[in-house]
A = this chain, B = another copy of it.
Amino acid sequence: MGTKPTLHEVAATAGVSLASASRALTGRSASPEMVRKVRTAAKRIGYLPDATARSLRLGGHRQVVFAVDDIGNPNYVQMLRAIEAELGETTRISVSSTGRRPDQTVELVRMLSMGAGDGLIISPLRVTPALRQAIADTVVPVVVIGTLHSDLGVDNVFVDSSVAVGMVVDHLVEIGRTRIGVINGPGNTNPGAARRAGFAAAVERHALVRTEALQITAADFTVGAGVDAAEHLLAATLDSGIPIDAIVCANDLIAIGAISAARRRGLRVPDDLAVTGIDDTELAALYSPPLTSVSLQSERRGGIAARMLSERFADPSRPPRRETVDATLVIRASTIGEAA
């Protein structure tokens, strides 16, 4: 009883042939009597058709998996939309939110080798040695959206988010901000590391104040983490007599959290404090004040990744490619106020 009933057992229970049972359920050509017998038998033993077997027999569609750390991040939703648009008709896309546990991503890649899907698009926050190894070992095509330090022989979509931070700082300096703080994402993530480097370079370039107190790390790329980090940052800088006039945030969600925290302290944005995000997610344009951000072209990256994957399906021997997209600064009211 614990085992899943098959069509075979339905046929046996109904006392008919396997073929008749199949036809009775799919409703091809079967007598009313046959349909009745089979359907009741199926109900009785609790039969449910097996999608995999059907799909094999029918020549089912391809299945690709899109794995991200947090599907709640609008950034990934944008990618997903583009991916769906690119290969939606012909392919089933399943999204897997690996939830910050890097080993889960590794697990996923391994599962793929075991038939869980025909292809993988992955946008990992961290690329651990284990993940690198898993990717290298996998037979099924993998496209990585993000930073790939060594060459793994897989297709790759890249955007340099360190220059993104540079663009933001340049802009802030241009509008006269000099004491610029930063709320970065976790340092052990690829985006975190890149943005930290970008900020350091920009500070150097503009000869800005360089204090440890101006740099803080959020626990996460989420709004909640942004609130917490901003509170610490504001408290630390104000208490030590180093008031800041701008905060560069590692992404839009953190920036929104930072604005909330700043407001709660009575600070006006951008008059007292300019705040910037990264990703230029839909929220950025809608938030009030609208958020100055840097577009990393998530939709475009998703679309490119999807196209790379389908091109690899078409020609598996094609050498791995790497495509790069450019970051573009989008200036809004959170830095310059109501300009319109």
Contacts and interface: CB of A to CB of B under 8 A. Distances in A.
Interface string A306-318: 0000000101110
A281 to B, nearest CB: 11
A81 B95 CA distance: 11
A221 to B, nearest CB: 14
Contact of A114 (B58, B71, B97, B114): B58
Interface in A259-280: 259-260, 263
A52 to B, nearest CB: 5
Given A81-B71, A97-B84, A288-B288, A118 B55 contact: no
Given A48-B139, A49-B115, A51-B63, A95 B94 contact: yes
A118 B94 CA distance: 14
B97 A95 contact: no
A44 B282 CA distance: 45
A256 interface: yes
Given A77-B72, A260-B286, A94 B94 contact: yes
B260 A46 contact: no
Given A95-B95, A286-B256, A286-B260, A115 B48 contact: no
Nearest to A44: B317
B55 A115 contact: yes
A47 interface: yes
A97 B84 CA distance: 8
Interface range for A: 35 or more
Nearest to A5: B316
Contact of A72 (B57, B60, B81, B257): B81
Interface in A33-89: 43-44, 46-58, 60-63, 65, 71-72, 77, 80-81, 84
Contact of A49 (B58, B81, B139): B139
Contacts of A84: 71, 97
Contact of A140 (B48, B53, B114, B283): B48
Nearest to A57: B115
Contacts of A94: 63, 92-95
A140 B55 CA distance: 14
Contacts of A52: 52, 55-56, 60, 63, 115
B77 A46 contact: no
Interface string A129-140: 000000000011
Contacts of A50: 56, 118
A79 B310 CA distance: 29
Interface of A: 25-26, 43-44, 46-58, 60-63, 65, 71-72, 77, 80-81, 84, 92-97, 113-118, 139-141, 223, 256-257, 259-260, 263, 282-283, 286-288, 313, 315-317
21 contacts: A26-B113, A44-B317, A46-B317, A47-B316, A48-B316, A49-B118, A52-B55, A55-B115, A55-B116, A60-B115, A65-B92, A77-B77, A81-B97, A92-B94, A93-B94, A93-B95, A94-B94, A95-B95, A256-B286, A263-B288, A287-B287
